[in-house]
């Protein structure tokens, strides 16, 4: 049985690993340059040095026994408090380790699913030719397949338009899911800021701020990840990156950085989940997995991917 998985974040990787262990042939497609999705790490140059900044998920939890067992030996450390962990030397290290040996086609933006003779074809475009929020470029899509089944492991707002032409009922089920966006500012400074390692202000633009170099295994240079709260991010979603950086810098009370990067996550925090581990249409050979199925945690994405794999194998 051949299976295509669209999305190589934690849900897609988890699903792929379980399917491969069950003897299925699996190919993953992802628009990114590396596996991991929102478990992302940005490399920032400072002179001849490179500083790794975790600009997506800031830590992981491991309440589920199976997920906790998987993490053993993967190189993780507690931070910033009991029950929360970070991979070493960066958040992206965990999905990359778990993706080892998987067939992942990177830099591919899946533009359509197509039925052909009772199987599925995957149409895709070069990811660097696609601009978020704009119509797809007028390019001839490449096709991959055929596949016996497809698992879509994308954020719900990205999965829905892909499913609408071929599985409108599955697409409609995703209307219940709600996300909050998040503007993230990454900044490197010449000297240590006189602030606690982690900030969670109750008011103002900042929802979370953390001293990246306080995490185990990170470079020593003073570096901060500042994530705007949901309401501020919504209000400033289409602002210019420079204006966002200025606003978050002022809220942090920081001096001018040595270098900085601003990143916009349109689908960051799951505010309303589906309430099911996954969705699977066995007759069509089409399923869905993601953190939005359960709750907005890395662990939830892993469990959703596992649940979908079990449904596909049954």
Q: What is the DSSP string of 122-177?
A: EEEEEGGG--TTSPPPS-PPEEEEEESEEEE-S-HHHHHHHHTTT-HHHHHHGGG-
What is the percent of the chain with per-residue pLDDT over 90, rounded to a whole number? 95
Structural domains present in the chain:
2-39+92-177+273-313 (3.50.50.60), 178-270 (3.90.660.10)
Q: pLDDT digits over 227-249, tens only? A: 999 999 999 999 999 999 999 99
Task: Say yes or no to pLDDT of 132 above 80.
Answer: no
Cut 0.85: pTM above it = yes
Q: What pLDDT is stored for residue 139 in this prediction? A: 87
Question: Residue 313 CA to chain centroid, in angstroms?
Answer: 25
Mean pLDDT for the chain overall: 96
User: Residue 95: which H helix or E strand, with range?
Assistant: helix 93-98
What's the CA gap between 255 and 313, in Å, rounded? 55
Q: Which of 149, 155, 106 is nearest to 290 (CA)?
A: 155
Q: pLDDT digits over 255-277, tens only? A: 999 999 999 999 999 999 999 99
What is the percent of the chain with per-residue pLDDT over 70, rounded to a whole number? 100
Q: What pLDDT is stored for residue 22 in this prediction? A: 97
């Amino acid at each position: 049985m051949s299976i295509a998985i669209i999305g190589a974040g934690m849900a897609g990787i988890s699903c792929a690993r379980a399917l491969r262990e069950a003897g299925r042939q699996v190919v993953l497609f992802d628009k990114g340059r590396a596996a991991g999705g929102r478990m992302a790490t940005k490399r920032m140059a400072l002179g001849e040095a490179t500083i790794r900044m975790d600009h997506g998920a800031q830590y992981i939890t491991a309440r589920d026994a199976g997920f906790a067992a998987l993490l053993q030996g993967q190189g993780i450390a507690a931070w910033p408090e009991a029950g929360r962990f970070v991979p070493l030397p960066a958040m992206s290290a965990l999905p990359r380790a778990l993706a080892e040996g998987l067939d992942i086609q990177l830099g591919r933006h899946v533009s359509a699913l197509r039925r052909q003779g009772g199987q599925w074809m995957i149409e895709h475009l070069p990811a660097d030719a696609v601009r978020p929020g704009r119509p797809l470029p007028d390019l001839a899509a490449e096709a991959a397949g055929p596949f016996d089944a497809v698992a879509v492991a994308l954020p719900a707002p990205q999965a829905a338009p892909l499913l609408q032409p071929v599985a409108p009922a599955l697409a409609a089920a995703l209307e219940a899911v709600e996300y909050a966006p998040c503007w993230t500012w990454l900044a490197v400074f010449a000297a240590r800021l006189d602030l606690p390692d982690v900030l969670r202000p109750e008011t103002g633009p900042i929802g979370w701020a953390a001293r990246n170099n306080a995490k185990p295994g990170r470079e020593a240079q003073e570096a901060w990840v500042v994530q705007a709260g949901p309401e501020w991010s919504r209000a400033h979603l289409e602002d210019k990156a420079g204006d966002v950086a200025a606003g978050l810098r002022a809220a942090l009370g920081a001096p001018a950085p040595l270098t900085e990067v601003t990143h916009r996550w349109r689908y960051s925090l799951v505010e309303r989940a589906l309430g099911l581990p996954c969705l699977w249409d066995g007759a069509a050979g089409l399923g869905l997995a993601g953190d939005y199925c359960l709750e907005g945690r890395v662990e939830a994405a892993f469990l959703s991917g596992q649940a979908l794999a079990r449904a596909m194998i049954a």
